[in-house]
Structure formats: C-alpha cells, structure tokens
Amino acid sequence: MDSRSDTSTQQVLSARHRYEGAWRFTVPPRESSVPQIRHAVRDLLRRQGAPLSEDLAYGLELILSELVTNGVRHAALLTPEIGVEITLRAGWVRLAVEDGHPYRPRALEAAPDQHHTGGRGLLLVKAVALEAGGDCGVAPTANGGKIVWASLPLR
C-alpha cells in the first residue's frame, strides 16, 4: 500500500468516528438540574455529530431524565453534586449517572413485566435500553456511592 492510500484511509476512519469521546458534567441535586442536563447533553450530541436516530435521541433523553431525577429524589442528602458522563464510541453511546447514596436499586435486576410499587422509572430505563438492543446496570463507586448506567447501540 502506498502512503497516499494509507493517508486517505486514515482520513476516512477519522471522519467516520469524529464524534467519539467522553464528557462529564456535574449538577446540583435539584429538580431544576434535570432539564438543564438534558439540554446540555442534547446539545453536546448534536455538536459532536453523533449518528442518532430521532427515536434513539428521545430514548437517551428519557433515560437521562429518569436517572438524574432518581439522584435528585433519592440521593440529594448524601450527594453534593450528581455526576453525568456521556461516552460515544464507534457503534454505541453510554450514559452514566453517579450519586453518593450507597443504595443499589433492585429494579434493574427485575423483569420489566413484574409489578412493583417503586422503581418504575428504572424499569422504564431498562425497557428502553433493552428495546434498543442495549443494556443497563448499577455499579458501586470507590467512595460508597453508585453509578447507574445505560449503554445503547448507535444505528
């Protein structure tokens, strides 16, 4: 392969995945943070040129709203700020919301068709992620809190 075709191959690969990266936002645990972070993430995804269908963009906004709302409602006393991380890689997007509360919600482990009096927002997150061909979960942080995440394929 000569150097000209090698350079053009690199340019094509760079152009195809120029939207890739990871970004972190922090917001105070207040109700007003939910629409603010939703708009910030929507603007970021547009600026990056992420290949999102309208349905996927709507699903991501719904997931983000549910996860940040849960942090605001259930972890505010133990969380001076809620962390939101967006990661774009070739073929997928991952949303993660971190708070300082140690409780790990069980709704993500339950079947979406089971009847629960609580955790319905997380069941919705799970249903949206699975329907899109993705996954979701919860992981502990080193400081005793948790990260609730959803990963969805870009199509």
Domain membership of residue 71 (yes or no) is yes
- 147 in a structural domain: yes
Q: Classify residue 73: in a domain, yes or no.
A: yes
- How much is the pLDDT for 86? 97
Q: Does the residue 14 lie in any domain?
A: no
Picking from 4, 140, 15, 138, the residue whose alpha carbon sits closest to that of residue 67 is: 138
Whether 65 maps to a domain, the answer reads yes
In a domain, 12, yes or no: no
Q: What number is the average pLDDT over the span 109-129? A: 72
pLDDT score for 5: 46
- The confidence score (pLDDT) of residue 59 equals 96
* Angle (deg, nearest 10), helices 120-131 and 54-75: 150
SS3 58: helix
Confidence of residue 1 (pLDDT cuts 50, 70, 90): very low
* For residue 3, pLDDT beyond 70: no
Cα–Cα distance for residue pair 81/14, rounded to 1 Å = 35
Look up the pTM and report it.
0.82
Read off the pLDDT band of 60 (50, 70, 90).
very high
Distance CA 43, CA 51 (A): 13
* φ, ψ of residue 43 in degrees (nearest 5): -65, -40
* Domain ranges, residue 139: 20-153
Q: How many structural domains does the chain have?
A: 1
Proportion of the chain above pLDDT 70, given as a percent: 81
Asked whether residue 149 is assigned to any structural domain, the reply reads yes
What's the mean per-residue pLDDT of the chain? 86
CATH code at 61?
A: 3.30.565.10
